[in-house]
Chain A
Amino acid sequence: MMVDEPRIDEGGTSSGNLQLMSRSTYFKETALKNIFLLCAFVAVMGVALIFLFVGWRGWPLMADIGLGSFLGGAEWNPTSALYGILPLIWGSVVVMAGALALGTPLAVGTAIFLSEIATPRVRSIVRPAVELLAGIPSVIFGFFGLIVLRPLIANATGGLGFGAVTAWFILAIMIVPTIATLTEDALNSIPPGIREASYAMGATPWQTIYKVLVPAAKIGILDAIILGMGRAIGETMAVLMVVGNAPVFPQGVTVPLSTLTSQIVMDMPYAAGDHRTALFGMAIVLFVVSMGLVALVRLIARFQTSMDRGR
């Protein structure tokens, strides 16, 4: 820790003269600084340790299973020593894509309603409700999906009700808070002048929303969607309870399939040897995907900053 000479920041004093801190204030300030540093350090160490552990346990995969037959293998059948995760990756992508397709319009619509249309009174009811949605444990979504939604889909399709469609509906609701909150922030951070200028030109509220506000907030909305994507692909319990967990390429959207996350949970209790290594390999894949999504968000943020500077 680099600590400068103890002194108050020049700008902070009204008289502008340099004043030394008392010794006890100095120690308090230093202690606080270090405590906060420690907090940040613990969080970073947590990520680093998890990554190291998962990497360490998953690494033998290269030698024991082979990266090609792991990532490219079309059959996940641990009892026959086949550890191809392609069907699981496909399952994760199918589930995530459908959830985004359903959830994004819902969430962006909610955000536009909250930011542009709702009266303060309505907003004070709807916003906490959306935020509450984020606080509901995922197992409750899964339980709701299994007990309520699945039988409805089973009746409608004549199958068991397990499948991508059921997961889409559940996940679409689950990602609404993530996308809606961030989209609302993006809409709120648009300078009021832009809104006023649009109305001054004679645009209706709807024209203002879809011709001015949404385009102006598009980077923020994109961020929101990417984070929603991360939530959808990482969701485990709710998905596990409604997809049916058949590790195959599904022949339709109303038949069982499996995802990376749900398969890890299904197999963890009894997996041993190569099978266990393969599960850690799947964890690495999920880790890389979520790192990729975070990196994408950062990249977009940087792109936006440079665009703003260019204006």
Chain B
Amino acid sequence: MSERRSVILMVLSLVLTLTVIPLSGCNAGARAANELVVTGSTTILPIAEIAGEMFTDDNPENKVLVSGLGSSAGIETVSRGSSDIGTASRDLKEEEMELGLYDTPLAYDAIAVIVHPSNPIDDLTKEQVRLIFNGTYTNWSELGGNDVRIGLVNRDEASGTREAFYKIAMEKSPFDRTAAVLPGTGQVRSVVAQAEGAVGYISLGFVNNEVKSISVDGIEASAETVVDGTYPISRLLHFFTPGEPTGLAKEYIDFVLSDEIQNGIVIDAGFTPISAGEDR
């Protein structure tokens, strides 16, 4: 459901952006002190948006304007000063290092490769995962498993999970287009849970005992391996600010990092809370 909600949020934020752009054009740089503009990654959008609403519910005198234009746009706008916080689902590129942005990670996004519980395969290399999803392998016996046809389950193109999997696991090589395309994490999980040869991918937070999560490059997907950075199909979600966050931006970021958001929205959206790493 969070995907659908994110679509709605995306549309809402697009409308917001369209109304904000002309406004900010009139008084560029002279934003009201009680207004916070958060721009960037569509993956982070649901968290940023809902946290923004809850933040303004608690502090009605403030306004949080959230929009999802993509990670690059987030970094670009915050460094230009047209937004207060830039959100990104990737690390800074080399040329962006010089912008002097301050990084506050807010959550981990890890994607688990899931198969039917009866599938004897426990471990695959990242390269094998890629070759499965681009259609090179068609039978589990080619990977040392049973003689069962591989049933690929993919997500729709609007999915942020698909986008992340495409970048991290597929290294931007194309998916096998004969794969079943399902419009939700829950559907992927239930289909994989019911078909012997099926393989799919979902956010780590949604893995349950109906499916088996496969370890990649020998690393099991878990909160620990995601936090210590060893699990290969994961990434950090970032807030970027020009210098250490102050004022309203700091209040908002602290709110997102609070237990209320971390253990609520962040987990609901299928991400791993950043606080999972703080206990270490």
Contacts and interface: CB of A to CB of B under 8 A. Distances in A.
Interface of A: 77-79, 146, 150-151, 154, 158-162, 244-248, 250-251, 255-256, 258, 266-267, 269-270
Contacts of A154: 194-196
Interface residues of B, number: 22
B181 A246 contact: yes
B131 interface: no
Nearest to B4: A269
Given A160-B151, A160-B180, 12 more contacts: A151-B195, A154-B196, A158-B196, A158-B197, A159-B149, A159-B195, A162-B191, A246-B180, A246-B181, A255-B178, A269-B7, A270-B158
29 contacts: A79-B157, A150-B194, A154-B194, A154-B195, A158-B196, A158-B197, A159-B149, A159-B151, A159-B197, A160-B151, A160-B191, A161-B191, A161-B195, A244-B180, A245-B180, A245-B182, A246-B177, A246-B180, A248-B177, A250-B178, A256-B178, A256-B180, A256-B181, A258-B181, A266-B156, A266-B181, A267-B157, A270-B7, A270-B158
Contact of B178 (A78, A79, A248): A248
A151 B158 CA distance: 26
Contacts of B170: none
Contacts of B181: 244-246, 256, 258, 266
User: When A and B form their complex, which 10 residue pairs have the shortest distance between CB atoms, in order from nearest?
Assistant: A244-B180, A270-B158, A245-B181, A160-B151, A256-B180, A154-B195, A151-B194, A269-B7, A162-B180, A160-B195
B267 interface: no
Interface in B176-213: 177-183, 187, 191, 194-198
A162 B200 CA distance: 14
Interface of B: 7, 148-149, 151, 153, 156-158, 177-183, 187, 191, 194-198
Nearest to A87: B177
Contact of B179 (A246, A266, A270): A246
A266 B183 contact: yes
Contacts of A151: 194-195
Contacts of A158: 148-149, 196-197
Tell me which of B180, B182, B187, B198 has the highest count of chain A C-beta atoms within 10 A of its own C-beta: B180
Contacts of B151: 159-160
A160 B153 contact: yes
Contacts of A77: 177
Nearest to A249: B178
Nearest to A161: B195
B194 A256 contact: no
B96 to A, nearest CB: 25
Nearest to A147: B190
Contacts of B194: 150-151, 154, 161
Nearest to B8: A269
Contacts of B180: 160, 162, 244-246, 256
Nearest to A159: B151
A141 B26 CA distance: 53
Nearest to B198: A160
Nearest to A78: B157
B153 A269 contact: no
A175 to B, nearest CB: 24
A154 B153 CA distance: 13
A224 to B, nearest CB: 33
A256 B180 CA distance: 5
A263 to B, nearest CB: 10
B148 to A, nearest CB: 7
A258 B180 CA distance: 9
Contacts of A247: 177
A205 B182 CA distance: 50
A77 B177 CA distance: 9
A269 B195 CA distance: 28
A247 B181 CA distance: 9
A143 B65 CA distance: 38
A244 B194 CA distance: 15
Contacts of A256: 178-181
Nearest to A160: B151
Tell me which of B7, B151, B183, B198 has the highest count of chain A C-beta atoms within 10 A of its own C-beta: B151
Contacts of A270: 7, 157-158
Contacts of B149: 158-159
B156 A251 contact: no
Contacts of B197: 158-160
A251 B7 contact: no
A245 B156 CA distance: 9
A241 to B, nearest CB: 9
A299 B251 CA distance: 71
A244 B181 CA distance: 6
Tell me which of B156, B179, B187 has the highest count of chain A C-beta atoms within 10 A of its own C-beta: B179
